[in-house]
Structure 1
Amino acid sequence: MTLLALGLNHKTAPIDIRERITFGPDIIAGALRSLTERAGVDEAAILSTCNRTEIYCAMHAPAETGVKTWLSSFHGMEGERVAPYLYAHVDQHAVRHLLQVASGLDSMVLGEPQILGQVKTSFQTACDCGTVGKLLGRLFQHTFSVAKQVRTDTAIGSSPVSVAFAAVSLARQIFSDLTNQTALLVGAGETIELAARHLRQHQLGRIIVANRTIERAHALAEQFNGFAIGLTEIAEHLPEADIVISSTASPLPILGKGTVERALKKRKHRPVFMVDIAVPRDIEPEVGELSDVYLYTVDDLQGVVDEGMRSRQQAAEQAAEIIDVHTEEFMGWLRSLDAVGLIQDYRRRAEEVRDEVLARALRQIEGGKPPADVLGYLAHTLTNKLLHIPSTRLRQAGREGNMELLQAANELLQLSEEAKTAR
């Protein structure tokens, strides 16, 4: 069985590629079923966030090329268009990659905690779709345990650095005092909630939460004494917003250039700070061309994020050591699976020999042969039959000078020095 991690992220692909290679909640179940129908793919899970899309597979045959082809064709793109941005990790490297991702070591924001929840969600989705089996099940559970240890044993998450924090930091540079500002938060996921928390910590004046599901918008707004609206009401309330942070799973932009232009006129061209964290983008890129609009995407936040990275580098090195240990631990378990079938075959052969010799011994007892003689026959015959093939193979290895096999047999059988000397 082979493990494969295939994907692209913020390091390898620009946003216009990443936003085309995404799996929204409405298509991921069908995608997983489609993927596992391909020859060679036994298990699959898909992790799709604003900064990465990754496929994790357990395969009984080499299928990396097939998975690459499937990924591009599923999104209606030519393979040559996507291939330059893809990376692929196999077996041990796939395990290490997932551990690094879940621990926040591969994120735009080093050590950010949101990714672990996203990995758990992707795993649960795959479980619900029936595309996770023994191998990926064990891998993801192992991953969750290691990520927890990294959080506990290192300071990787001690600094409040995240894309949301970076967005708020930029807002504070533009509006030095947030107490009189209004923020419109579009979406109700973890990133938006984190942004709301950071804004509240800096005494933001007012929060408006817009979401497709108004109940979720209300639930989040209540935590911060905010006001909830539906997505259709955004244009009406946009003129009130000094800060706009958007992160939804919408396949199409929510805010267009025309809507923002009309809002700016009502604001008498007071500046608006806008951050589009979504992939695909929630805000049309042309909005950035407007005067009085400061528009940033997730890629633009990289410079801000870098400033907060330095304090986490030492913790990241410690985390990498933990990951190395646990990668080898998982690979040890995976390698042990190769021996399971061999052990089962060996035991089955021994049991067949045992049953055959025992049946003969029982017939001898039924024929009136003394039990002591039958026991002697049983012990002698069983020992000879069990040792015949190994003994023959060891003698052949000796004649051929196959010292590697002889040494392996010595280690396997744990022969004593005295026994070896006696020979």
Structure 2
Amino acid sequence: MSHRNSRLLALGLNHNTAPVAIREQVNFTTAMQINACQQLIQEGLAEEAVIVSTCNRTELYVVSEAENDLSLVAWLGRYHQLDPTTLNDYLYHYSQQQVVRHLLRVASGLDSMVLGEPQILGQLKSAYALAKEHQTTGKLLSKLFEHGFAVAKQVRTDTAIGSSPVSVAFAAVRLAQQIFGQFDTSTALLIGAGETIELAARHLRENGLKRMVVANRTLERARLLAKEFAGYAITLEEIPDHLAEADIVIASTASPEPVLLFEQVQNALKARKRRPIFIVDIAVPRDVEGRVGELKDVYLYTVDDLNEVIQENLRSRAQAALQAEEIIDTQVVHFMDWWHSLSAVDTICRLRDHATDIRNDLVNKAKRMLNNGKPAHEVIEHLAHQLTNTLLHAPCVQLRQAGSDKRDDLVLSARHLFRLPEND
């Protein structure tokens, strides 16, 4: 596929542009990502497509011949059964070089709620692997994402952007510390068993938490995580039986519906005799029913509420971020140079094919001359003469015409192209 007329487009919203209530409405599950990318291509809205969807962002990266992303905005609304105009205030739009810069910044953690956090890189890799597996990505997006991964690695190696352990999970634990002080007598209920929950478990343990319960849809996965941190594993259905034990609840599942309900928390508070529960809901869509926050003796925080805590961690990474931006500036130029070079590839291929056809034709004629008894040295000289004349005939005709038309630029280009020496 030629990319001569293709454009890079990106459309998305994130924690900076949209609240969690909006983000969860345009969230894509893994199955939806596959279906949506295929739909974009089948409907002619994209030649290549990758969809990135996390708790903090949903982004569409496409290669398209369209001049802008208006059709993508309309499609996004249709797909999620939303009025596209309700999304307009929350969306950002990038094209061409802007897309390259944005992806490199996202991959390097410069566009994250927690500056420099590494989780987004893994999420980008998963989204790209999914698109690649289902053949919705091609030469341009493959090169872009792989370039992004390489740049992210360079940023981590060459700057101190990842030197301090900050993440949404770390911010959640830090907030719990502000409320409870010490963790040595606290019990934590972790709902989910993914990377964010694992990070939270690690931070809790490092800060002195002794007792941990891990709830997950798959009990075996919960057991694996609980075993690592000397915890106890349960299923999601068993949460009501253990909720009253929990001082700290951190939830991050991929469930489309809340897994922690108002009545469950209300009953747990009665059993706890008004001892408070600290709950952090990191998931999008939300894992905790919104009304839970209305309960007295419940401290409920969503990912957006963590922003204030996270600000403390930004200062140490500010200088590193400036260095990272310099790396990205250079790498954007490198990618664009590669992309621009593609415009010459088609011409190079045609030139090679043309020369190969001439060579094969003349070699076949030379073989016939040899078979007819012509001396080898005559055949070689004839072949060389014919090959030179045939290859140079069209360029020479065009250059003579350029001279007649006073096209000095074309003549100078030919000197440069063929590396001809200057006249004495």
Residues 1:123 and 2:128 aligned together? yes
Aligned to 2:58: 53
Residues 1:295 and 2:297 aligned together? no
In structure 2, the CA distance between the partners of 1:308 and 1:403, relative to structure 1 (3 Å rule), is farther
Task: Count residues with an aligned counterpart.
Answer: 419
Structure 1: distance between partners of 2:152 and 2:193? 25
Aligned to 2:389: 384
Residues 1:182 and 2:204 aligned together? no
1:318 to 318, 323, 326: 323
Structure 2: distance between partners of 1:280 and 1:371? 79
In structure 2, the CA distance between the partners of 1:365 and 1:219, relative to structure 1 (3 Å rule), is closer
Aligned to 2:353: 348
Aligned to 1:82: 87
Once the two structures are TM-superposed, the CA of residue 51 in structure 1 deviates from its matched residue by: 0.1
Equivalent residues of 2:362, 2:383 under 8 A apart? yes
Q: Which amino acid aligns with 1:408?
A: S
Aligned to 2:228: 223
Residues 1:138 and 2:143 aligned together? yes
Aligned to 2:105: 100
Residues 1:246 and 2:251 aligned together? yes
Percent same amino acid among aligned pairs?
55
Structure 2: distance between partners of 1:396 and 1:110? 60
Aligned to 1:421: 423
Is the deviation greater in 129-138 or in 3-12?
129-138
Residues 1:196 and 2:211 aligned together? no
**Aligned-residue CA RMSD (Å):** 2.2
Aligned to 1:150: 155
Aligned to 1:16: 21
Residues 1:402 and 2:407 aligned together? yes
Equivalent residues of 1:155, 1:315 under 8 A apart? yes
In structure 2, the CA distance between the partners of 1:40 and 1:280, relative to structure 1 (3 Å rule), is closer
Q: Deviations over 1:235-286 (max 9, x none)?
A: 2211111111111111111222222222111111112111111111111222
- The two structures have a TM-score, normalised by structure 2, of 0.92
Q: Deviations over 1:205-242 (max 9, x none)?
A: 31111111111111111111111111111122111111
SS where residue 259 of structure 2 aligns? Answer: coil
Is the deviation greater in 165-174 or in 283-292?
283-292
Structure 2: distance between partners of 1:249 and 1:271? 26
In structure 2, the CA distance between the partners of 1:76 and 1:374, relative to structure 1 (3 Å rule), is same
Is the deviation greater in 161-170 or in 314-323?
314-323
SS where residue 157 of structure 1 aligns? Answer: coil
Structure 1: distance between partners of 2:83 and 2:402? 55
Once the two structures are TM-superposed, the CA of residue 408 in structure 1 deviates from its matched residue by: 2.6
Aligned to 2:334: 329
Q: Deviations over 1:30-85 (max 9, x none)?
A: 22322221215222222110000112223355573332222221111122122332
Residues 1:64 and 2:69 aligned together? yes
Q: Which amino acid aligns with 2:402?
A: A
Structure 1: distance between partners of 2:104 and 2:288? 33
Once the two structures are TM-superposed, the CA of residue 352 in structure 1 deviates from its matched residue by: 2.8
Structure 2: distance between partners of 1:325 and 1:225? 47
Equivalent residues of 2:45, 2:72 under 8 A apart? no
Once the two structures are TM-superposed, the CA of residue 329 in structure 1 deviates from its matched residue by: 2.3
In structure 2, the CA distance between the partners of 1:398 and 1:243, relative to structure 1 (3 Å rule), is same
Structure 1: distance between partners of 2:371 and 2:183? 97
Structure 2: distance between partners of 1:381 and 1:299? 74
Once the two structures are TM-superposed, the CA of residue 148 in structure 1 deviates from its matched residue by: 1.6
Structure 1: distance between partners of 2:211 and 2:242? 12
Equivalent residues of 1:40, 1:62 under 8 A apart? no
